[in-house]
Amino acid sequence: MPWPTFNITIDPLGWYNLLTAPGLIRNADGRGQLPDGSLISEDEQSVTRPDGIVQYADGRIGYPDGRIEWPDGTVEYLDGRIVWADGTELRADGSTVYPDGVIIDADGVQIN
């Protein structure tokens, strides 16, 4: 009789927790602290590394300067700009700059 086939999806954050769980210390506020100084949030949806970088379970990475990088290559900046992987940029004023240099203002009018 053959062994059953298992389809297992490994969550990177869960895998990280699994590998480091022997040294995990639970704080009174519900957060966990790993031996390297990283903090696991109380809801276990993010890990804050000692260098200030936050890794989220959904794949986002938050940097100390306020940037957030998404798994698809999108980057959000603290000033409100969003830059997609293809180079398209949505500015805080609502205008959009495309990789070919075309600029569309917030009202949908081409500027150049």
pLDDT in tens, 65-103: 999 999 999 999 999 999 999 999 999 999 999 999 999
pLDDT at site 60: 92
Q: Structure pTM? A: 0.66
Question: Is the CB of residue 89 less than 8 Å from the CB of residue 96?
Answer: yes
**Residue positions counted in the chain:** 112
